[in-house]
Amino acid sequence: MGKEAEEASREARKLVFGKYEMGRVLGKGTFGKVYYGRELRSGESVAIKVIDKEQIRRQAGMMEQIQREIAVMRLVRHPNVVELREVMATRSRIFFVMEYVRGGELFARVVRGRLPEDQARRYFHQLISAVDFCHSRGVSHRDLKPENLLLDEHGDLKVSDFGLSALPEQLRHDGLLHTQCGTPAYVAPEVLSRRGYDGAKADLWSCGVILFVLLAGFLPFQDASLMRMYRKVVKAEYQIPPWFSGEARRLVSRLLVVNPEKRISMPAIMQLPWFKKGSCRPPPIQIPPPSP
Ligand code: ATP
């Protein structure tokens, strides 16, 4: 590309349809980059995910996946789910305009070390309330992990990245999902077994792994060999560190149950006194103002 064309393309990227000004890159996903943006009229911050159509055309089924992500995000409007404001497209690109969640990924918080139980419980409470809402709309996320949980300026959790989520129409005649997806360390044993699974129950396993990680500061299932790690997952072979309280220990061990039928249910989680204590608001976290 010549220098002038390059300049013109940079300018075009800067202003999306004359509505949004685009700034720095916030992150990179499988399908494209996410940019910081500002709505010109209101000055409001947004996050804009830019997807290259050519790239997704080259991979079978990817266009359907993007369409599903849009449909799901429109369906699940909840305070703990990243809001999709609008979707725009040119001949070559798709733009997802989302609310800007400025506190970064929960993952960054966890790599600094384990959280005090009160804080872990509050994140877990918000996670469960978002996931329960998705399930009530027939949506299973299928890729829950701290990298997909963002924090806003109040320190509240927002579930993002519905790229792998499933809608009810994907269920086969047996009422189960059959696509193997998710991230190995967080994925439920029944998803690995390829026999078909209930997406909502599989999400609860991932919530169990997330709760473990928040409280422990490390993963329950890990191994240098992927095969050995899978073996640990399918047998639920893990050890709870001694600093977990009795209630937290009991909840983790009722979530990380191999048989999905015997795994604790959503209503049962919500009835636990330990869980109910998680609804109180925390002090806001300190976040620097956004830079364009
Ligand atoms: P993949 O889609 O491959 O699973 P991902 O979750 O990293 O990857 P994206 O959802 O495209 O992909 O997001 C990439 C990164 O951009 C995120 O990890 C996050 O740091 C940032 N990001 C995404 N959405 C927002 C948002 N609404 N506000 C602020 N930052 C965001």
Report pLDDT for 282.
53
In degrees rounded to 5, what are phi and psi of residue 263? -70, 145
198 is catalytic: no
Q: In the chain, what percentage of residues exceed pLDDT 90? A: 56
Q: Which of 36, 62, 78 is nearest to 292 (CA)?
A: 36
The least confident of 26-35, 101-110, 206-215, 282-291 is: 282-291
pLDDT of 274 over the 90 cut? yes
Which of 132, 143, 156, 198 is catalytic? The answer is 143
Reported as a single tens digit per residue, the pLDDT across 227-269 is: 899 999 999 999 999 999 999 999 999 999 999 999 999 999 9
Separation of CA 240 and ligand 1 centre (Å): 30
For the chain, what is the mean pLDDT?
86
Report pLDDT for 66.
83
This model of the complex carries an ipTM of 0.94
pLDDT of 197 over the 70 cut? yes
Report pLDDT for 56.
81
If pLDDT is split at 50, 70 and 90, which confidence band does 291 have?
A: low
Report pLDDT for 167.
61
Show the ligand 1 pocket: residues with CB < 6 angstroms.
26-30, 34, 47, 49, 82, 98-101, 105, 147-148, 150, 160-161, 163
Reported as a single tens digit per residue, the pLDDT across 206-217 is: 999 999 999 999
If pLDDT is split at 50, 70 and 90, which confidence band does 200 have?
A: very high
Separation of CA 27 and ligand 1 centre (Å): 6
Reported as a single tens digit per residue, the pLDDT across 117-144 is: 999 999 999 999 999 999 999 988 888 9
Separation of CA 145 and ligand 1 centre (Å): 12
Higher confidence at residue 259 or residue 287? 259
CA nearest ligand 1 atom 7, residue:
29
Q: Closest ligand 1 atom to the C-alpha of 143?
A: 4
If pLDDT is split at 50, 70 and 90, which confidence band does 60 have?
A: confident
pLDDT of 26 over the 60 cut? yes
Q: Closest ligand 1 atom to the C-alpha of 33?
A: 11
pLDDT of 24 over the 70 cut? yes
Report pLDDT for 135.
94
Report pLDDT for 180.
60
